[in-house]
Copies of this chain bind each other. A is one copy, B any other.
Amino acid sequence: MTPFCAVVDWGTTSFRLWVLCADGTVLAERTSHEGMLQAGSNGFQATLEAHLVALEVDAGVPVVICGMAGSRQGWREARYVETPVDVRAIVDCAVPVPAAGREIRILPGIAQRDPAEPEVLRGEETQLLGIIDALPADALVCLPGTHSKWIELVDGKVARFSTYLSGELYALLLNHSILRLAIDESARVSPQVPEFLDAVTTAIANPAQIANQLFSIRSSQLLGYSDRNGAAAALSGSVIGLELAGVMSRHGPLADVHLVAKGELAEPYKCALKAAGASVHLHDADTAVRKGLLFAASTFWPVEEGRQRRHAHPG
């Protein structure tokens, strides 16, 4: 099958590329750690082209990119669109990368210019674009990660959003704090162990005590009340519970939550959200971002034009 476009989710520390047919069929896929930080040294164009050459994608195939490649420290700045905004507007505000040897466009992020609650996101807007047709006009969308984003849709528009640095907090505490002595390096978080939901509900019930709750993961081991097996789950549950406490302090009790997550985050968040009383609608994050990027590509290069372009540049 003929490639229609290549799409890239280019984060701070990760790079993910798919080569797609016009109907969304995935022809090829590449992932690497060449995120913005590394590509900033090696060159964004060189990084991108190396992957495309490896997949034998010719110069007539255009590329759409979302994420940190569009930040000020990235390849080419794609300025934030501003709330309230229909997420489809990011397509209109995409920025072309000139003289790249092929058609390339970078999608912008979204900013909430409120001095009391300043917020920015890049990448999550494209995941949202990918599922927007499946969402009701009013919805609460949770996109967990290093910096978890919670987006409030009102009348089909991104009305407000907020960020919780839960994933970063988890990683810092796991790898660098006193809690590393309490947790096996090989630990994987299982939301099935009781320590996970215990920690979620404790953090929701009393988020003010989080700095004490976290320390108790260590002290309960020192005094023989717990072992190392449940410690990673207790840490994860504490951090996710704190995030949910924050969301509930803003939105009140949780009802329907659209969870856009991939593999290892989907299950813990789903369990925690259910424990907090939410009805969870799960969307795969990779599928979502790919669909969002394809939607943008189809708008930029309507399929007929796309075909002509490739005929004109056989590569």
Task: Choose among A117, A119, A208, A245 the residue with the greatest number of B CB atoms under 10 Å from its CB.
Answer: A208
- State whether B215 touches A165 (Cβ < 8 A): yes
- State whether A120 touches B246 (Cβ < 8 A): no
A313 to B260 Cα, complex, angstroms: 74
| Chain B residues in 8 Å Cβ range of A178 | 147, 165, 168
A74 to B211 Cα, complex, angstroms: 26
- State whether A165 touches B211 (Cβ < 8 A): yes
- State whether A210 touches B207 (Cβ < 8 A): yes
Number of copies: 2
| Chain B residues in 8 Å Cβ range of A207 | 207-208, 210
Knowing A206-B249, A209-B250, A246-B208, say if A118 contacts B223 (CB, 8 Å): yes
| Chain B residues in 8 Å Cβ range of A239 | 211
A246 to B203 Cα, complex, angstroms: 12
**Interface: A236 (CB within 8 A):** no
Knowing A118-B225, A173-B172, A208-B248, say if A147 contacts B215 (CB, 8 Å): yes
Picked from B115, B172, B245, the residue with its CB within 8 Å of the CB of A172 is: B172
A233 to B105 Cα, complex, angstroms: 40
A113 to B165 Cα, complex, angstroms: 33
Chain A 233-260 near chain B by CB (<8 Å), digits 1 or 0:
0000001001101101110000000000
Q: Which residues in chain A, 193-215, are within 8 Å of chain B measured between CB atoms?
A: 206-212, 214-215
- State whether B208 touches A120 (Cβ < 8 A): no
- State whether A163 touches B215 (Cβ < 8 A): yes
A113 to B206 Cα, complex, angstroms: 21
| Chain B residues in 8 Å Cβ range of A210 | 207, 210, 242, 246
A157 to B172 Cα, complex, angstroms: 36
**Smallest Cβ-Cβ distance to A119: which chain B residue:** B219
Interchain Cβ contacts under 8 Å between A and B, 23 examples: A115-B220, A115-B225, A118-B222, A118-B223, A118-B225, A120-B219, A162-B212, A163-B212, A163-B215, A164-B215, A165-B177, A165-B211, A168-B177, A172-B176, A176-B176, A206-B249, A207-B208, A208-B242, A208-B246, A208-B249, A209-B250, A210-B210, A211-B246
Known: A168-B178, A169-B211. 5 other contacts (CB 8 A): A118-B223, A163-B216, A164-B212, A165-B177, A207-B210
Q: Which residues of A contact B (CB under 8 A)?
A: 111, 113, 115, 117-120, 147, 162-166, 168-169, 172-173, 176-178, 206-212, 214-216, 219-220, 222-223, 225, 239, 242-243, 245-246, 248-250
